[in-house]
Structures are given as C-alpha cells and as structure tokens.
Amino acid sequence: MRLPLTSVLVVILAGCSAGSAGVRAATPIPAGTEVRALWVVRNTLVHPDSIRAMVRRAADAGFNTLIVQVRGRGDAYYRGRWEPPPPGWRSGSYDPLERTIREAHRRGLRVHAWINTNLVANADTLPADSTHLVHRRPDLLAVPQPLARQLYAANPRDSSYVQALAEYARANRDHTEGLYLSPAAPEVKEHIYSIWMDLVEHYDLDGLHFDYVRYPAPDYDYSRIALDRFRDWLVPHLPDTTRLRFAERASFDPLVYTDSFPAAWDDFRRQQITELVERIYYGVKKRAPRLLVSAAVFADTASAHDRRYQDWQEWLRRGILDVACPMAYTDSLPLFRERIRTAVATVGGGRVWAGIGAYRNTVDGTVAQIGVARELGAAGIVLFSYNSLVRGDSTNPGERYLRAVGERALRGERATVSSH
C-alpha cells in the first residue's frame, strides 16, 4: 500500500528545507585562473618514481592541478589514522600524498585529495586486512532492497552476511560498483568526517574532493540502521491512528514504511548525503578557509537527484560546495555541451569544472570538449584520467595523448597558479 503524502510530506519537507533559502557565496576561485586538472587514480601512488613521472608529465603538458585519489576502497594512500594502507604499500616506507604534494608544489601545481566516500570495497575481491571497515563493522554496509528482509534480522558478523552483499553487487554490475557504506548511519558520517579532518590537519593541500558521495542506485540502502532511522524520522509526523496501524505492521515487515511512503523515503536518502556534505564543508572551512571543497557528480541532474540522491545543484545554491565537477563522460559533443550548460546555469561557470572522459575520446574529441567548456564559461576542466591516458590504447596512444592535448589546448595559454 502506498499512502498519499499530502500533509505528512509538507511538514517533513518544510523542516528539511528551512536552512536552504537563498544562495550563499562560496569560496572564490582565484581570479583569472583556469583550472586544468587531471584525476589521478591511486595506483600511480604506489612508488615514488611513478609519482615523480606523473607530476612531470602533467606539468610539461600544461596542467596546473592534480586531483589525487587517496582513499579508494576504504584504504589510506597516506599516513592516516583511521584506515589501513592498501596491499603492497608499506606505510613506513614513504608517504604517497606527502611526496605528491612536495613534487607538485615544487613545479607550481596544486594538489587536491580525492576521497571516495561511500564505495568501500570491490565485490570481486574483498579486503584482506582484518582491520578494514568491511570486516570491523559489516553492520554499517548498505543493503539492497531484495536482500533487506533476509538481512534485517541476520547477524552482520556472520560471514554469509557480507558474502550476500558481495554476490548481489557482482550480479548487478550495471548499477553498483561494489560494497557501499550506509549513508544513513551516524557512525559512517562520523568516520568519513574524521578522514577529511585528518587530511586537512596534516597535509599542505590546496583542496579536497568528494567522489561516490551518493547512493549506488534506488535499490539501496535498506540496511537495518537505515530502515530504523527512516522510521524514527517519519513516524513523529504521522497522525496517531496511522502511527498505531503502521507500528503493528512494522512488527512483521521492516519495509512497511519505505514501501508506503516512497517519496518521503527518497527525500530522507537525499538528506543523508546532503547532511554529510554540509558538515564536512563547514569542518574544512573552520580549520582551513583557503581550502577548496569540490565534488565529482553525475552530470545528468535528473539521475543524480532521483536515482543517486545526490542533490549537487542544491549544494551549490546553498554554498556548501565550492565547485562541482560534472562527469560528462561522452564522445558526443552535443551531449557534453548540454550537460555542462546545465551545470553552469545552476550558479554560474565560476563554480564548475567540466569533467571530460578523455578515455572515451580521441585527442580531437578532448580538445573540442575543452573548447566547449571554455565557451560556456566553466572555470576549469578535469580529465579522467591520467592513468588511462598514459597507459594508452587504440584511441589514446599513451603519453603522447597528454602531450598532444597540452600542445593544442593548454600550453599556449598556460594558466598561472600561486607558488609554494
């Protein structure tokens, strides 16, 4: 049964939106600086030589910003306090993030720490480290709707619990990349917040960057903690007669509230992500106002809002995100133009860096998309990814790709950045 929301939702949504009126000014990007960035995936950080080569190649091609992945799957590619180092890297040998910052600043490049937020493990190979969050706190993992009733009363410490989540992810690769944390869990929010503040307080960064700050798909998250928190969020707004009726049904069906109030359930999920972004944003600015907070976001705004619960346009309007990087990964120039135009129209191009899927494009295609982003007034461009471009394939011939993009679109008008 699905109940009409009417006055129930009016009350709930009025409370949720009370602080979102108007547009708050965010930290400005330095005037006259076009951001020319690369997303750098974590496997580049596994050796000092690959770090030095990456910085050199980026600087020689005319890039001025590196967005470096320091948390990939619940691991720390830096000397972190809260999560284990990745397999194959000995934390005492060197600090990948510190080395990257030192090399990059020496060449005048900015460094932003890229943090995967809710995606915490691959489904094919679960983490081997017993201290990994997947093993320490399986109760904090997101659960898909088809497994919700089965797992609601299950013991998360039983090995079959995590295996069931991994099997579901493997069978549904079209819409989930692996195991996610539950965005509704207060302990998850606190854990992610602690990771961000650790980075802010211990590294000479120029910014920090959200990724996977969303749900994987509409069939997540039906974990016990999410269902219970939604019930507690919703029930106070229900009439007494409705509350009593649903309490009886909930005793044998844990999904009764999500099934009966789907629009409120969607709003609740969006609120979980927005609350995390807001808290982290203000935590960063309190400690280091100069740092820029950005996010890689779904370029399709309807999909972002309705299916991933990632309301990034509202984050920009409210001033709880400095810059959005819409991932407009396509080889279609008209579609790329549409996606970036929508982002720029939200609050202006000064807070948009156009995400270009260079791995899907020829050099000509990437150069054309850079031109469109400039034409539309975006403050910068970000190419995904350094790793795929230097590895090379039939479309992108390795390191020559970076050099060609630099020669044709970047070096002739090299942007300046402050020295360190």
Which pair of structure tokens corresponds to residue 279? 């808290």
DSSP letter string, 103-131: HHHHTT-EEEEEEE-SEEE-SSS----TT
Q: What pLDDT is attached to residue 415?
A: 40
Tracing tokens 């006055």 back to the chain, one arrives at 7
Tracing tokens 């547009």 back to the chain, one arrives at 23
Q: What pLDDT is attached to residue 20?
A: 39
Q: What pLDDT is attached to residue 420?
A: 34
Helix (H, G, I), strand (E, B) or coil at 156: coil
Distance of alpha carbon 340 from alpha carbon 185, whole angstroms? 33
Tracing tokens 């009417």 back to the chain, one arrives at 6
Residues of the chain whose pLDDT is less than 70? Answer: 1-32, 90-92, 392-399, 412-420
Distance of alpha carbon 52 from alpha carbon 115, whole angstroms? 21
Q: What pLDDT is attached to residue 367?
A: 97
Q: What's the one-letter identity of residue 69?
A: Q
Residue 231 CB partners (closer than 8 Å, separation 6+): 250, 257
Q: What pLDDT is attached to residue 2?
A: 44
Q: Which H or E element spans position 180?
A: strand 179-180
Buried b (16+ CB within 10 A) or exposed e, 366-400: bbbbbebbbebebbbbbbbbbbbbbeeeeebeebe
3-state helix, strand and coil shares in percent for the chain, rounded to the nearest 5: 50, 15, 35
Q: Which pTM does this prediction carry?
A: 0.91
